[in-house]
Structure 1
Amino acid sequence: MSASRFYKTEFKGVRYRKHATRKHGVQADRYYVLTYKIDGKTKTEAVGWASEGVKPSEAYDLHCQLLQNRKKGQGPRTIAEMRAEGDEERAEREAEKRRQARLNISFKEYFEKYYLPEVLQANRPETVDKTKIQVDKWIDPVVLELPMREITLEYIKRIRANLNKKKRSPRTIQYVFVTFNAIWNMAREDGFVEGESPAKKRSFRKTMPKVDNRRERFLTRDEEDKLLAELARRSRQLHDMALLSIECGLRRGEIFALTWDCVDFESETLHLRRTKSDKSRWVPLTQRAKAMLLNMEQGSAGEFVFLDRFGNQLKALSNSFDKAVNKVGLNDGITDRKMKIVFHSLRHSYASNFLKSGGSLYALSKLMGHGSINVTERYGHLANDDLVAATKQMEASRTSERSGGKVVPLHRTQGATE
């Protein structure tokens, strides 16, 4: 640009200076400014380059508009004030645009932008994958691009109708709506929706299918031995994981997450830090489980006890387990899924063995990491024999006291009373 020399135009108050090298057409590019007096002082303000679309006539129109504003005492008096006012208007427009976007955000958009990043940080990969499937397969096809705030009970019923039409299990149906409610609750906390999830309405919850997925099958000692022998033949690691579940009641995910610093051979305990409830717990090691772990090549603290073939944490169970179950014939002729042996059955077998050995339901609840004693009470029938034996012992003791220390048969005591 040339030194600060300004040239007049045919329009009063509009001047320009030339760029030293840059051209606009055949002429040097021109930079237009306005010069006027305000509050007794001469002020010069930039308008812009001719190459950017500024014309001297338009600059003059702007000059006249500002002059009228100054005379009336209304509106921006300078270009700076006009630009500031424009910035405020743009900011208001942007704020309104963002507000409308929040009001009109769809379920899928909120899930992908806000909910999913949180889930990725706090949950296991398999949990995240299941959540994605529930949203993509069951929720989104019904609500489409509808704003979340417009999702009503009608749409919730459509989702359930689709699940029923595809004959999905009651547990799957429950999981879909647990996911829906979790996403809705987070959106409400973030200010995207108001009020309770439509899936939590009493009229809807009352018609939800009842779920009873409790496994009723337990392995006998003989079945345990046969299964472990077949697993050992196929995979030593799979055998060791199954043994740990049978002996200590660990869940599959807890076994996958077990690291060597969680194994305390001296106190003969396992410290489970990554559990289903996110609450750590201590589990006693049986001598059989301890011997198995001592026989393994032990890694450093923080290293996973069971690794995949690449040396990383296990993410899934090998199908060799199902093959071993089939080979031993544990599920032969069984059609009821609750009676079939799966890996989780090993944990239930631990519970069965514990109670049959005289353990209490309360102790079992703590060992298995149940969130409530109500969950443990599903095993209550296994302790019936102990309850019967305890009742008979109480009765015998009472009879002994009445007979002066001699045990009298119950029927004789009853006859004497009569």
Structure 2
Amino acid sequence: MKVQKLNSGSYRVQKQVNGKRLSMTFDHKPTKKEVEDELAHRLGYYNGKLTFAACINNYIDARTNILSPATIKGYRAIVKALPDTLLDKPIDDISNNDIQKVINDAAGKVSPKTVKNRYTLISSVFAEFRPDTILRVNLPLMVRKEPYIPTREDIRRLLDEAKGTTMETALLLACCGLRRGEICALTMDDIDFDNHLVYVNKDVVVDDKNELVVKVPKTAQSNRAVPVPDAVLESIRQNGLYNKHPNNINSWMRTREAKLGIPHFSIHKLRHYFVSTAHEKGMSDAAIMEVGGWATPNVMIKHYRHAQNTDAVTAAVLEDIV
């Protein structure tokens, strides 16, 4: 992006759109996002037609107070990744083949999941602004990769590295089924030492301005009371809660894993460990889903979710590593 400083002290950015040059002037040196936002505004109507850029930005802006800040951030990132040939084109002039070309180009650069996410947003915009249009696009094959589930020894070694710090608390809570953002959002008011419970009632996410936002949990089921064993409560008493930036957790883990020579896994994989170990210990799906805050469409599971005492779940999971 070429930014030209004018004699007046203003800054000018010029861009070719459909063979025509658009000139934008700013009273300060603009960032890439500011240029993109101004361009989207300018291109709201091109030759009397609503552009795809205007449509997709309108779609996102209409949901900023409804969707998670992290979701909005992801949508903004998708817009930045889409080619100008799509964004600058009137939505009424976009063909199915135009979308297929965008998908095909992306498939050679990013993962199938990322391609699918981009197409999902594109198709949602079409559903709102061109509801009579039926898109038929071939997506890249999703290759299922079995995630690496950390072993008990992996977790023990990480816990040894974290001993005496708030990171120890974070790792133990993750082994009890808490999500990263839920861990970072906890306050001492959420800890019931007498009844061995941690109340999950909020989440921390990063928004599209890279600022931390405290919001309600991911789903209705995520708002829950998680029974925790003595080892977790003792770490909270001695070390405190982890209230730093969520991204710092995975950075810390990556560094320590490399040092210890164990395969890399994120803190979210400790939720996988929680599930697999709880199953191994004979816990019911209903109990595991209740503690982990997962929603289920299965009416029978929902009906019998209290059939088993959930207090035993996290204690059983942690007994082999602490």
Q: Which TM-score band (shorter chain)?
A: 0.5 to 0.7
What is the letter of the counterpart of residue 219 of structure 1? P
- The gaps in structure 2 that reach 5 residues or longer are 1-44, 203-216, 299-322
Q: 2:57 matched to 1:112?
A: yes
Shift of 1:211: 4.5
Q: 2:249 matched to 1:325?
A: no
Q: Which residue, out of 263, 269, 283, partners 1:359?
A: 283
What is the letter of the counterpart of residue 185 of structure 2? A
TM-score by length of 2: 0.64
Q: Kindly tell me: are residues 316 and 157 of structure 1, through their superposed partners in 2, closer, same or farther at Cα, counting changes over 3 Å?
A: same
Shift of 1:160: 0.9
Partner of 1:204: 137
Q: 2:208 matched to 1:262?
A: no
Question: Does the aligned pair in 2 maintain the 1:270–1:285 contact within 8 Å?
Answer: yes
Matched position secondary structure for 1:271 = strand
Matched position secondary structure for 2:218 = coil
Quote the Cα distance in structure 2 between the aligned partners of 1:123 and 1:241: 23
What is the letter of the counterpart of residue 259 of structure 1? T
Q: Kindly tell me: are residues 135 and 264 of structure 1, through their superposed partners in 2, closer, same or farther at Cα, counting changes over 3 Å?
A: same
Partner of 2:177: 249
Quote the Cα distance in structure 2 between the aligned partners of 1:278 and 1:150: 41
Matched position secondary structure for 1:239 = helix
Q: Kindly tell me: are residues 238 and 354 of structure 1, through their superposed partners in 2, closer, same or farther at Cα, counting changes over 3 Å?
A: same
Question: Does the aligned pair in 1 maintain the 2:186–2:200 contact within 8 Å?
Answer: yes
Q: Which residue, out of 106, 110, 114, partners 1:172?
A: 114
Matched position secondary structure for 1:118 = coil
Q: Which residue, out of 181, 184, 203, partners 2:123?
A: 181
Shift of 1:134: 1.1
Q: Kindly tell me: are residues 173 and 197 of structure 1, through their superposed partners in 2, closer, same or farther at Cα, counting changes over 3 Å?
A: farther
Matched position secondary structure for 1:349 = helix
Q: Kindly tell me: are residues 240 and 181 of structure 1, through their superposed partners in 2, closer, same or farther at Cα, counting changes over 3 Å?
A: farther
Quote the Cα distance in structure 2 between the aligned partners of 1:195 and 1:117: 17
Quote the Cα distance in structure 2 between the aligned partners of 1:349 and 1:371: 18
Quote the Cα distance in structure 2 between the aligned partners of 1:359 and 1:295: 30
Q: 2:155 matched to 1:231?
A: no
Matched position secondary structure for 1:204 = coil
Matched position secondary structure for 1:250 = coil
Q: Which residue, out of 120, 131, 134, partners 2:75?
A: 131
What is the letter of the counterpart of residue 122 of structure 1? L
What is the percent sequence identity of the aligned residues?
A: 21
Partner of 1:408: none
What is the letter of the counterpart of residue 79 of structure 2? V
What is the letter of the counterpart of residue 325 of structure 1? E
Quote the Cα distance in structure 1 between the aligned partners of 2:227 and 2:125: 38
Q: C-alpha deviations, 1:231-271, integer Å up to 9, x for none?
A: 337xx22222111101x111112212333333333332223
Q: Kindly tell me: are residues 355 and 293 of structure 1, through their superposed partners in 2, closer, same or farther at Cα, counting changes over 3 Å?
A: same
Quote the Cα distance in structure 2 between the aligned partners of 1:142 and 1:262: 50
Matched position secondary structure for 2:163 = helix
Question: Does the aligned pair in 1 maintain the 2:159–2:168 contact within 8 Å?
Answer: yes
Quote the Cα distance in structure 2 between the aligned partners of 1:320 and 1:269: 27
Shift of 1:108: 1.9
Q: C-alpha deviations, 1:163-216, integer Å up to 9, x for none?
A: 1121x111111221233234445xx2xxxx231665xx4x436x442242552x
- The gaps in structure 1 that reach 5 residues or longer are 1-99, 298-304, 309-313, 332-339, 375-418
Quote the Cα distance in structure 2 between the aligned partners of 1:197 and 1:285: 51
TM-score by length of 1: 0.50
Matched position secondary structure for 1:294 = helix
Shift of 1:118: 2.6
Matched position secondary structure for 1:270 = strand
Q: Kindly tell me: are residues 267 and 133 of structure 1, through their superposed partners in 2, closer, same or farther at Cα, counting changes over 3 Å?
A: same
Question: Does the aligned pair in 2 maintain the 1:142–1:159 contact within 8 Å?
Answer: no
Q: Kindly tell me: are residues 222 and 277 of structure 1, through their superposed partners in 2, closer, same or farther at Cα, counting changes over 3 Å?
A: same
Partner of 1:372: 296
What is the letter of the counterpart of residue 284 of structure 1? P
Shift of 1:117: 5.7
Quote the Cα distance in structure 1 between the aligned partners of 2:119 and 2:192: 41
Question: Does the aligned pair in 1 maintain the 2:167–2:242 contact within 8 Å?
Answer: no
Q: Kindly tell me: are residues 350 and 129 of structure 1, through their superposed partners in 2, closer, same or farther at Cα, counting changes over 3 Å?
A: same
Shift of 1:278: 5.0
